Amino acid sequence: MPSARFQPSFAAGVIGPGLWGRIDLAKYDTAIKRGVNCFVHAHGGISNRPGLRFICEVMDSTQRHRLMPFVREVDDSAVLIFGNQQLGFISDGQRVQSGGADYTIATPWLAGQVNAIDAVQSVDVIFAAHRATAPRRISRLGPANWTVSTVPINPTTPIPVITEIEPRRSGEETYSYRLTAIVGGVESFPSTVQTFTGAELLSNEGAMNVIRWNAVPGATEYRVYRMRNGVAGYIGFTTAGLAFVDDNISADLTVTPPVQAGLFSTPDNFPSVVSIHQQRLVFGATNNRPETVWLSRTGDYLNFTRSQNMVATDRAEFDLAGEQLNRIRGMLQLRELLVFTSSGEFSVTGPEGGFDATNPIVTQYGYVGSAAIKPLVADDTALFVERSGRGVRDLRYAYESDGYSGNDLTIFASHFFEGRRIIAWAMAKAPWSLIWVVLDNGKLLAMTYKREHQVWAWTEMDIDGSVESVACVPENSIDATYVIVRRTVGGVQRRYVERFDDRAFSTATDAFFVDCGITYRGSATTTITGLEHLEGRTVSALADGDHVRGLIVTGGAVTLPFAASVVHVGLPYVAEFETLPPAIQFDDVGAARGRPHNVSGVKLQMEKTRGIKTVTQDGRSNEIVQTGGDLAEVIALWTGIHNLSVPTLWNKDGTVTIRQDYPLPMTILGISVDLSIGRS
């Protein structure tokens, strides 16, 4: 009996084999059976992924490397390449050079440690933590001027020296004082205690002590403390001169000078996690104290001191105690400081939302547990990798429950993660809201994530080689995605940094859908050079909009069969997706499931597409043939509905596969399938 199935959206992405029979699910009608080298748009369409442009080889292809984003502002970004005790840089799609050579600086991290570095950025500085080294700051002074230094824990403000204590009149009393200097808004440690014996009792009328000291370069303020019961209590300050008069000022023991911190100075006491929260630098999880969080003083990332009598703005230090060991895996600043541990999810705040070192409020909201992968932020939502490394969840504050809750984002595509573990991920918010996920076997997955529309859609990438790292940074008006791919070239292992193309084109000539590729623009030529990184490999080209396949790179070049002025050359790949079996119910014979199906026609709603095929289950295909009116012009990209006949094949699925094996664009917005369904 004839029937038709129209699928107006693919917003559910790929669902796993365990759900192919769940026709009762709302997501079934917008899901697909397979999706390779394509991604789902939040509005429901599906496109082939853009190609990968070759950027550079890593510093040492025999060792693993890691990419890390640096974003000062939306039009000022870079990608950092961490290697074996060295650090390289990429800016605007090019390796940063200095003196005609790749610019590289030294770091303390070995190749086997770089994937475990946790980092957070503050304008021109990245703070980095790893349990094997003291915390570091990576500072950018210029495009090719970076430094790596140890993060100071204690302020370096010079300490003043009290030179004289002069009472107005002599007596039998003893008074002791300490002094601090303020330079650049940072208070120094106090001077040594200076004591004068033989002073008049200050409570007597007219009695006073004059304290004098030496000048501290750059000091804008000096604070004076008088000792009382062994504690230095604040009695006043001066911004001018080098003397202070104590005429029986009451010592305020709630305001005391800072005490030197002895943190993060020895092995097993180096933090492994770092974040920023409410103008404080936050560290967590040393080997000796895996549950502990430390926050710097308010407004001073490089100051982990506390007053002798603690106040709200001092360094904070607390443990995330629970029934199980809560080893801290990651931290994230959102509405509150979110702390992800091996046993659960916590929030850290203070009274009325402002953090207070004397009264930190720690609340546990979940018991899922987290892997050691830094959480991501999508608008107002945190995303984290579950403890097993095989699941992704989101976490968002809900006002109605005054707490955090979330979803399992891998439940419909769990087959992608069977026996695998997530080792890296990054989010490209613009323009497609894609989260790129790297698995431990080198596979790359893409998840389209739009929480407000309840869209999370998975697809997989089939890339020649293994993906080992990923990072996203804003460049121009989009978020650029960079990956490290381990490829075999000429029988030798190479690790390349490559960048996904922007997928911005108006004609087929500008379409870039090859991997590890380059682009030539210039006078028409048949010889394309600059392909030394693909020596001996078979590549494809799009030359002035025409596909050329089967080219072999020799001497770093290929020869085209005709001259062209715009040529994209690189490794070919195939993009395709397959629909799910139709879920049709007939009044007279019941469900169509299990009955013979025959697809006789397909109608595709396309956008900027050229050269796709439908493929039957026995491998036969039928191509959408497009021609231009003027044979001298590049064939135009098609937007609209296209009818396509399909080779006759009876089967029990009734699925349709759409394939793009040319280096050309494909976007399908909807599909209508004409079916004949047998009764037996």
Distance CA 652, CA 320 (A): 55
Distance CA 290, CA 268 (A): 10
Mean of the per-residue pLDDT values for the chain? 92
C-alpha dihedral sign at 351, 355, 356, 357:
positive
Distance CA 465, CA 485 (A): 6
Q: How much is the pLDDT for 404?
A: 84
Q: How much is the pLDDT for 508?
A: 93
pLDDT confidence band for 635 (50 / 70 / 90): confident
Question: 238, 223 in Cβ contact below 8 A?
Answer: no
Domain ranges of the chain: 52-153+261-487, 162-259, 502-571
CA-to-CA dists, residue 349 to 238, 345, 380, 394, angstroms: 35, 14, 17, 20
C-alpha dihedral sign at 593, 669, 448, 418:
positive
Q: How much is the pLDDT for 544?
A: 96
Q: Which pair of structure tokens corresponds to residue 318?
A: 């607390």
What are residue 183's phi and psi, to 5 degrees?
Answer: -125, 120
Q: Is pLDDT at 444 greater than 70 in this prediction?
A: yes
Q: Is pLDDT at 255 greater than 70 in this prediction?
A: yes
**pLDDT tens figures, 505-563:** 989 999 999 999 999 999 999 999 999 999 999 999 999 999 999 999 999 999 999 99
Q: Which pair of structure tokens corresponds to residue 113?
A: 């440690």
Query: Which candidate, 649, 652, 657, places its Cα nearest to that of 593?
Result: 652
**pLDDT tens figures, 118-174:** 999 999 999 999 999 999 999 999 999 999 999 999 999 999 999 999 999 999 999
CA-to-CA dists, residue 290 to 280, 281, 305, 374, 388, angstroms: 20, 18, 21, 16, 19
Distance CA 468, CA 486 (A): 7
Distance CA 39, CA 455 (A): 13
Question: 242, 188 in Cβ contact below 8 A?
Answer: no
pTM of the full structure: 0.93
Q: How much is the pLDDT for 649?
A: 63
Superfamily of domain 52-153+261-487 in CATH is YVTN repeat-like/Quinoprotein amine dehydrogenase (2.130.10.10)
Q: Is 416 helix (H, G, I), strand (E, B) or coil?
A: helix
Query: Which candidate, 502, 497, 531, places its Cα nearest to that of 88?
Result: 497
pLDDT confidence band for 452 (50 / 70 / 90): confident
Q: How much is the pLDDT for 284?
A: 97
Question: 608, 636 in Cβ contact below 8 A?
Answer: no
Q: Is pLDDT at 663 greater than 60 in this prediction?
A: yes
Distance CA 4, CA 584 (A): 9
Q: Is pLDDT at 14 greater than 50 in this prediction?
A: yes
pLDDT confidence band for 1 (50 / 70 / 90): very low
Mean pLDDT of 646-655: 68
Query: Which candidate, 26, 30, 25, places its Cα nearest to that of 12?
Result: 30
Q: How much is the pLDDT for 642?
A: 87
Distance CA 536, CA 581 (A): 42
Distance CA 360, CA 316 (A): 8
| High-pLDDT (> 70) share of the chain, % | 93
What are residue 556's phi and psi, to 5 degrees?
Answer: 75, 20
Comparing 33-47, 69-83, 572-586, which segment has the lowest mean pLDDT?
Answer: 572-586
**pLDDT tens figures, 159-200:** 999 999 999 999 999 999 999 999 999 999 999 999 999 999
Q: Is 658 helix (H, G, I), strand (E, B) or coil?
A: strand
- Per the listing, tokens 């600059």 go with 530
Q: How much is the pLDDT for 3?
A: 59
Q: Would you call the peptide bond into 69 cis, given omega within 30 degrees of 0 as the criterion?
A: no
Q: How much is the pLDDT for 648?
A: 67
**pLDDT tens figures, 549-603:** 999 999 999 999 999 999 999 999 999 999 998 876 555 555 566 666 677 778 8
Q: Is 509 helix (H, G, I), strand (E, B) or coil?
A: helix
In sequence order, the 6+-apart residues with CB closer than 8 A to the CB of 363 are 346, 347, 349, 403
pLDDT confidence band for 384 (50 / 70 / 90): very high
Mean pLDDT of 450-455: 90
